[in-house]
Structure 1
């Protein structure tokens, strides 16, 4: 039997796993609060649903990672306070974020989350942590696909220059 080859939950976390998971909880808490604030700015119901789906997924991830940290004696980072809910019409027009910008911000955050999950998976020696972040990665990719479709359907997607090269025969 090799080193660290028992039940992964009985194995200690290494310092990289501790820092990365702790940091993941901290940044996810901030992302949840930011997304809750952005929901106040959104008029499109489809976008609002996707944002709320993002919030619920992030809250579930934070809960799951927090349980691992607490089981390993690691104090949790502070959570950002939940912003107040306001009506869209109470936000002055010049201070509102347009729906297209909110969608792009959320999609960019998911893309960043994909990279973060991949990094944590790559540095993990505990299989349970690597698998958990693999599940988060897959869920983020699926949600990112939903945002991409929504942005295309609504005409919000700003594509990079498109290459229309036809080979010469």
Structure 2
């Protein structure tokens, strides 16, 4: 039997797995702080509920899972930014306030980038349990991204790229 042929949690993690977990944790901690800021700026109740869902049901559990993984493997934890308290949106000057479409677009971009990062981390893994953790994170991002896309379409916040409207036959002639 080889060194990587037993129970996954008994196998050593390689440096890439530790690095990816460290960076994912640092990013997740920063996102909690940033999404709390977005929550304070947000006026749309559906978007506020979505952001709250992401903070409490995705980011916080992911952060805890990553912290536990790094601790179990004797790796250091990145520093976390301070939590942000709730603020009264109406006291934020309009010129300094993020708009709801801006917030939704930034969150959608985070989901796209995060999904790509989860996939990249997953395919580098030798340990199945670490790959499964990233696969779970990715599946949740995909589901939440689809929910956000529907919300953005319903609210009219989508800015579509140029749409292809000509039938293929017309293009070929």
- Residue 54 of structure 1: how far off its partner (Å): 1.1
- 2:68 is matched with 67
- 1:152 is matched with 153
**Could you tell me how far apart the structure 1 residues matched to 2:9 and 2:52 are?**
31
**Could you tell me how far apart the structure 2 residues matched to 1:60 and 1:10 are?**
23
**Could you tell me how far apart the structure 2 residues matched to 1:164 and 1:44 are?**
32
- 1:165 is matched with 166
**Could you tell me how far apart the structure 2 residues matched to 1:105 and 1:34 are?**
10
- Residue 75 of structure 1: how far off its partner (Å): 1.3
**Could you tell me how far apart the structure 1 residues matched to 2:169 and 2:114 are?**
41
- Residue 165 of structure 1: how far off its partner (Å): 1.8
- Residue 119 of structure 1: how far off its partner (Å): 0.6
Q: How many residues align?
A: 169
Listed as ranges, the matches of 1:82-93 within 5 Å are 82-93=83-94
**Long gaps (5+) in structure 2:** none
- 1:109 is matched with 110
**Could you tell me how far apart the structure 2 residues matched to 1:98 and 1:78 are?**
29
Q: Secondary structure at the match of 1:40?
A: helix
Q: Provide the aligned C-alpha RMSD in A.
A: 1.1
In 1, are the aligned partners of 2:3 and 2:11 still within 8 Å (CA)? no
- 2:99 is matched with 98
Listed as ranges, the matches of 1:4-153 within 5 Å are 4-56=4-56, 57-153=58-154
- Cα-to-partner distance string for 1:71-123 (whole Å, 9 max, x where unaligned): 01111111110112111101011111110100000010011110110011010
- Cα-to-partner distance string for 1:15-38 (whole Å, 9 max, x where unaligned): 101111001100110011001111
**Could you tell me how far apart the structure 2 residues matched to 1:168 and 1:9 are?**
56
TM (normalized to structure 2)?
A: 0.95
**Long gaps (5+) in structure 1:** none
TM (normalized to structure 1)?
A: 0.97
- Residue 167 of structure 1: how far off its partner (Å): 3.7
**Could you tell me how far apart the structure 1 residues matched to 2:131 and 2:99 are?**
37
Q: Secondary structure at the match of 1:153?
A: helix
